Structure 1
Amino acid sequence: MRRVQFRRITAALALVAVAGLTGCATREPANAPAPSSGAATGFPVEVSVPGGTTGLKLEKRPERIISLNPSSTETLYAVGAGKQVVAVDDQSTFPAEAPKTTLSGFKPNLEAIANQKPDLVLASNDTDNLVTGLGQLKIQVLLVPAATTLEDTYAQVSAIGKATGHAAEGEALATRMRADIDKIVTDTRKPARPLSYYHELDNSLYSVTSKTFIGQVYGRFGLTNIADEADKSGSGYPQLSAEYLVKANPDLIFLADTKCCGQNARTVAARPGWQSLTAVKNNGVVALDDDIASRWGPRVVDLVRTVSSAVSAAAAK
């Protein structure tokens, strides 16, 4: 249940206005860091993150880093700063070697964080005045909020690389991510007509609209989001009804609740009335990795690749 709540909260932080912009996680180019020089030169540096920290000055390369959000954890390792990471939060599940602890990004414990003797903490939010509290302990905090656009993701990768002494690696990774995503979208076989889709956050039928970060990913492929009209509050994350879904009859269904809630094509087909859906009849139910589908780090390229495969398969029918 906590994983479901975490993914809903993480998703809700990524609301954005419509913008133009998915699950093999084994392909290396987007995630593997460029060769690191290992040098701690280039400091002091000043680092800013879109929507987060502005003008954080780091006098020297941090050697004891704590990450309090999974996307930052993944980015730290992807830019080559993994050896500097001494602790990550309880929601960070990738990579496997990350030193997972009981630290929480939702309810940060200043004493527990300080006990790790960090010289830099990465967090997505200034929860409970985290920045001020750690600042009083002479611990610097880099706020890296939920990305609202793919451009934000690229900027965050670059910023984290710069803050950790891996500026070249961060810039190279951001460039590769952008190039990979653009190429995947360009090379995807396009359907004769626009396809509709439903993205499932959990099995209580919470979804996302086109205004969200994840909605932008689907938007890159020209897909029509069936949840848009149901979002009367404008939150970006409406809870749909089974009746609404059956009536909308999406061409594709993307399940971001395969781990948390055990959902798959079989369980979807077994839902009352769902066996008649186009997505079910045409093998258009796509299982996503929950974590990849809820994070805005380097593995967003894998999410894009999965969506591309689904669109291409549907276009071939």
Structure 2
Amino acid sequence: MKKLNQFIVIAFVLYAMVSCKKEEKTTDTTNVKTESSAVAATQRIVSLNGAVTEVIAALGHEKEIVGRDVTSTYPESVKASAKDLGHVARGVSVEAIMALQPTLILGTEKDMTPELQAKIKASGIKSVIFKQEFSVDGAKRLIADVAAALGHKGDIKPIQDKIDTDLTDLVKFKKAPKVLFIYARGANMLMVSGTGTPIESIIQLSGSENAVTDFADFKPLTPEALIKGNPDAILLFDSGAESVKGIDGVLKIPGVDKTNAGKNKNIITMDGGLLTNFGPRTGEAAKALNQLLAKNAK
């Protein structure tokens, strides 16, 4: 009987030890999974550039965006899900950014003032400021750079390849139409695009050419510049056209009636973000402009 009792005791101790190890192993695994999920769930992104926001969404990380700048309007859903922080070059404050408790801040050099960059860097929050190039290669590079900043593990090639696909079936013009872009913020604020601008790049990608090449960047629009450029088409952002009371308002701008575009009422309006972001929709933008030019060609 004594030996039997000893056997029972030993068996009970062994059972208890095995049970403890199983419980310990289960607990460890659960903790690992919980911590991993928490890390994924707590990535909070502030995106301070429309193209960067497009890339984040295209990569499947839109729900991680908690704050955005005013140019981040695509996809449409991001306007409701992320806080609008204003215009990064004028009104975004580092305090408003920090209030969102971000874990990652993304932006581009062209938008951000040195002061804001310095404050973001001083905050200690992880940030990546991209140097953006307004070309097909530049758009593909931005996609890759944003993916790396996010720690994205998926395949980015289909997103990059779509840009090339969209550019393969453009209408070929016998003579490239001349396009003049007007940046409008009301009838008293009209600027025309010269060389070296993102809008010039998208005009060229569409198979057309910039009507103004004798100065760089933007200058105030004058009747003389309009007549000298004599564009076949005049291009504006949708919002710009609205600010001058639509296409009828554009046709009333002094000098427009003396151009081929004015005579033929060939005024094209498009979404500003689509035209100038140079993100995943770069090929789509060039194709849309190409088709509108072909439709209105005389």
* Equivalent AA in structure 2 for residue 253 of structure 1: I
How many Å apart are 1:194 and its aligned residue? Answer: 3.2
Name the residue aligned to 1:296. 278
Q: Separation in 2 of the partners of 1:294 and 1:116?
A: 28
Q: What do residues 238-283 of structure 1 show as CA deviations (whole Å, max 9, x unaligned)?
A: 2231132134321111112535624533222233453343213334
Aligned length: 250
Q: What do residues 45-99 of structure 1 show as CA deviations (whole Å, max 9, x unaligned)?
A: xxxxxxxxxxxxxx99971111112221122112211121122124422223221
Note the aligned Cα RMSD (angstroms).
2.8
Task: Between the two structures, name the one with larger relative contact order (CA 8 Å, sep ≥ 6).
Answer: 1
Instruction: Determine which structure has the larger helix proportion and give its number.
Output: 2
Q: If you compute each CA radius of gyration, which structure gives the higher value, 1 or 2?
A: 2
* Equivalent of 2:200 in 198, 201, 215: 215
5 Å-filtered alignment, 1:141-290, equals 141-181=127-167, 183-184=168-169, 187-191=170-174, 193-202=175-184, 203=187, 204-229=189-214, 231=215, 235-256=216-237, 258-259=239-240, 261-262=243-244, 264-290=246-272
Q: Which runs of 5+ in 1 are unaligned?
A: 1-58
Q: Separation in 1 of the partners of 2:157 and 2:41?
A: 17
For the residue of structure 1 that corresponds to 2:145, the secondary structure is helix
Relative distance call for 1:112 and 1:240 in structure 2 (3 A) is: closer
CA contact (8 A) 1:227 1:240 kept: no
* Equivalent AA in structure 2 for residue 190 of structure 1: F
Q: What do residues 175-203 of structure 1 show as CA deviations (whole Å, max 9, x unaligned)?
A: 2123322x14xx31313x33222111125
Q: Separation in 2 of the partners of 1:132 and 1:268?
A: 41
For the residue of structure 1 that corresponds to 2:257, the secondary structure is helix
**Stretches of 4+ moved more than 6 A in 1?**
59-62
For the residue of structure 1 that corresponds to 2:67, the secondary structure is strand
How many Å apart are 1:305 and its aligned residue? Answer: 2.0
Name the residue aligned to 1:81. 61
Q: Separation in 2 of the partners of 1:258 and 1:112?
A: 27
Name the residue aligned to 1:102. 85
5 Å-filtered alignment, 1:59-78, equals 63-78=43-58
Q: Percent identity?
A: 22
Name the residue aligned to 1:14. none
TM-score, length of structure 2 as denominator length: 0.72
Relative distance call for 1:167 and 1:308 in structure 2 (3 A) is: farther
Q: What do residues 198-229 of structure 1 show as CA deviations (whole Å, max 9, x unaligned)?
A: 11112533122342222122223443322212
* Equivalent AA in structure 2 for residue 143 of structure 1: I
CA contact (8 A) 1:207 1:237 kept: yes
Q: Which runs of 5+ in 2 are unaligned?
A: 1-38
Q: Separation in 2 of the partners of 1:95 and 1:135?
A: 28
